[in-house]
């Protein structure tokens, strides 16, 4: 739905923040923006998403001394943006004709850049102090020059199907996301990233985790790596606090009891039959969901878990938990055997509030 001119944000004071909403801006809205440009000198604009119209180009050119924190534009508007004496700190750039993208390197204060749909042989045009780089559906041999970005700390590579290696990533990298990079089979170089704290691996053609002991991983997310059958390296991540295993074909979990884990999520591990290795662990949060072959969760009684979530465990028949656990049970449609003890009554939908809270969506639906 198009925005009427009455919905256009108008600055009443020179230091207010202007938001131009992404989408269609009619001529009346643009006219009112033009009228306010004279009062925009020195104003900080936090988020601007510009549609591709000649009128908007004219509006941009009237902001010569404005500091823009985040700008989202198509590539054809980039020359107009670069021509400004602005301080664009964050740029979201989408390819249209794959011609002008190199000019974004002229934005001297750019610390975050998101590039979508580009075919690039090099990243040498990014001479800015880039600290965060997100490349989505970008092809070419650009990955060989990632090491040129010496101040880069966050690297997110999504759908970069030409990506074959990571040997050129700087060791100071702190956050790395690799999502759906189909040719990336060797990720052993990740262990050279000695400052790495967060790692996301999603839909990669890997069959085992590499050695990661040289990193300082605190958060690890493994999503939909369909060939991953060996995750034994998890046992050696002595800084790991958050672990998410999502749709990976593991038949057993590695030993995790010696790790400083605080949050653990197990989702759709359909080859996993046993989680007894979790016994004795202390967790702030544990979520187990869609693990079709798990039938016994009595191991929870030996654990200390502040918040427990159980979702769609179709074969679950036995479970128990320790006193003080807040329990949320969703979509458990069959009866569950709970041992009789003072702290837990023999009912799947009701517990003493002082000890735990159980919510069963299926039971709730049947009552109503």
Core vs surface per residue 120-135: b (16+ CB within 10 A) or e: beebeebebebebbbb
Q: How far, CA to CA in Å, does 214 sit from each of 119, 236, 263?
A: 33, 10, 22
Q: Residue 288: CB partners within 8 Å, gap ≥ 6?
A: 265, 266, 267, 275, 294, 297, 309, 310, 311, 313
Radius of gyration, alpha carbons of the chain: 26
pLDDT digits (tens, 9 = 90+) for 15-47: 334 444 334 445 555 555 555 555 555 666 666
Q: Which two tokens stand for residue 57?
A: 């180009």
This prediction's pTM:
0.80
| Residue 231: count of CB within 10 angstroms of its CB | 19
Q: How far, CA to CA in Å, does 57 sit from each of 44, 62, 98, 292?
A: 18, 9, 19, 55
CA distance 247 to 294: 14
Q: What is the dihedral of CA 160, 165, 167, 168, to 10 degrees?
A: -30
Nearest Cα to Cα of residue 49 among 108, 109, 3, 103: 3
pLDDT digits (tens, 9 = 90+) for 84-135: 656 788 888 988 878 788 888 888 888 999 999 999 999 999 877 899 999 9
pLDDT digits (tens, 9 = 90+) for 189-235: 999 999 999 999 999 999 889 999 999 999 999 999 999 988 999 99
Which letter does DSSP use for residue 302 in this model?
G
Which letter does DSSP use for residue 13 in this model?
S
pLDDT digits (tens, 9 = 90+) for 292-306: 999 999 999 999 999
Contact assessment for residue 221 and residue 240, using Cβ atoms and an 8 Å cutoff: no
Q: Which two tokens stand for residue 223?
A: 């999503």
Q: What does the pLDDT read at residue 352? A: 34
């Amino acid at each position: 739905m198009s925005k009427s001119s009455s919905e256009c944000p108008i600055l009443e004071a020179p230091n207010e923040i202007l938001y131009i909403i992404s989408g269609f801006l009619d001529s009346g809205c643009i006219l009112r923006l033009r009228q306010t440009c004279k009062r925009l000198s020195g104003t900080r604009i936090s988020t601007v998403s510009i549609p591709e119209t000649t009128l908007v180009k004219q509006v941009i050119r009237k902001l010569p001394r404005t500091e823009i924190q985040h700008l989202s534009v198509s590539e054809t508007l980039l020359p107009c943006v670069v021509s400004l004496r602005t301080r664009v700190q964050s740029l979201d750039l989408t390819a249209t004709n794959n011609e002008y993208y190199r000019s974004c390197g002229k934005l001297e204060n750019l610390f975050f850049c998101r590039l979508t749909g580009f075919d690039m042989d090099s990243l040498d045009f990014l001479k800015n102090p880039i600290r965060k780089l997100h490349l989505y559906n970008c092809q070419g041999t650009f990955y060989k020059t990632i090491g040129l970005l010496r101040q880069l700390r966050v690297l997110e590579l999504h759908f970069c199907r030409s990506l074959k290696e990571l040997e050129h990533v700087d060791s100071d990298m702190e956050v790395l996301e690799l999502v759906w990079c189909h040719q990336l089979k060797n990720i052993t170089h990740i262990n050279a990233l000695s400052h790495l704290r967060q790692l996301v691996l999603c839909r990669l053609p890997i069959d085992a985790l590499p050695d990661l002991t040289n990193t300082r991983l605190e958060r690890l997310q493994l999503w939909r790596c369909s060939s991953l059958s060996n995750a034994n390296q998890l046992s050696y991540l002595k800084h790991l606090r958050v672990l998410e295993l999502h749709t990976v074909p593991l038949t057993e979990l590695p030993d995790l009891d010696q790790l400083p884990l605080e949050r653990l999520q197990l989702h759709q591990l359909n080859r996993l039959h046993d989680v007894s290795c979790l016994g004795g662990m202390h967790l702030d949060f544990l979520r187990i969901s869609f693990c079709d072959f798990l039938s016994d969760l009595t191991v929870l009684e030996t654990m200390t878990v502040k918040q427990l979530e159980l979702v769609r465990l179709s074969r679950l028949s036995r479970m128990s938990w320790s006193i003080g656990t807040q329990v949320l049970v969703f979509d458990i449609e069959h009866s569950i055997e709970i041992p009789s003890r003072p702290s837990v009554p023999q009912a799947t939908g009701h517990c003493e509030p002082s000890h735990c809270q159980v919510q069963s969506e299926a039971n709730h639906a049947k009552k109503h």
